[in-house]
Amino acid sequence: MAETELNVDSLIARLLEVRGCRPGKIVQMTEAEVRGLCIKSREIFLSQPILLELEAPLKICGDIHGQYTDLLRLFEYGGFPPEANYLFLGDYVDRGKQSLETICLLLAYKIKYPENFFLLRGNHECASINRIYGFYDECKRRFNIKLWKTFTDCFNCLPIAAIIDEKIFCCHGGLSPDLQSMEQIRRIMRPTDVPDTGLLCDLLWSDPDKDVQGWGRTIEGFPSPSEPTWSANSSTAMTWISFAEHIRLLKMAMSSLPNDSW
């Protein structure tokens, strides 16, 4: 499908028609439309930095995992774009039954509002993971394997992290012992698969652990002046951490909960 043939407004309207319907209602989309979303959004991802520098106000959202009804409820609560600016922290596909509707609405909003709607990469935006946990099977059942590969090409170009107001560092996973400066993230080349080790792997896979020495829970959520602290919010599937002063940031938002997931 040529870019001029992709009617994003029509597709968004169709994706939103199921609001109020029974959960799980399938949205009819053509293969050409879905492929067009992947191709156009991939171009936008590559035109923007791998480390986004954003300004508040914007709403930060954790894992969606194919729960399309929950995504619609989220927008009903926070405001449908462009009423509010959004940053999603990854894991759009797998596990849930409507990964295609979920990722297609998110990509469509990215295309329509490229400077106000942002998507980071999660560890499930990786072929070796979503090949196993459901997205591959959904693509194969509703379309074909070739379209799944087109999604993979798109996912390999997603930004990895974001900084809000020069204070809040956002990524899907967590920190890496290899991370000494933000410039290291900026030097990661795209498109890229997720390696088994190293900085990119850690940013997408690291989870907070309250048992690691030097980390303590903050009851009020305020950062400790001397050492990293974490506070989890299971209702939003995100964790806030205040961490290393040498990175010159105050807090971190990531789409992972501590191991006890309280």
Prediction pTM value: 0.86
Q: What is the CA radius of gyration of the chain?
A: 18
The per-residue pLDDT of the chain, averaged, comes to 86
Looking at the domain assignment, is residue 261 inside a domain?
no
Q: Is residue 259 part of a domain?
A: no
Catalytic residue at 65? no
- Interhelix angle for 145-155 vs 31-47, to 10°? 10
Q: What is the pLDDT of residues 39-48, one digit of tens each?
A: 999 999 999 9
CATH number at residue 220: 3.60.21.10
Q: Which of 35, 28, 32 is nearest to 14 (CA)?
A: 28
Q: Which domain holds residue 12?
A: 3-254
Candidates 65, 124, 172, 246; catalytic one: 124
Is 217 within 8 Å of 231 (Cβ atoms)? yes
Domains in the chain, number: 1
Asked whether the predicted pLDDT for residue 35 surpasses 80, the reply is yes
Identify whether 262 is part of a domain: no
For residue 85, tell me if it sits in a domain: yes
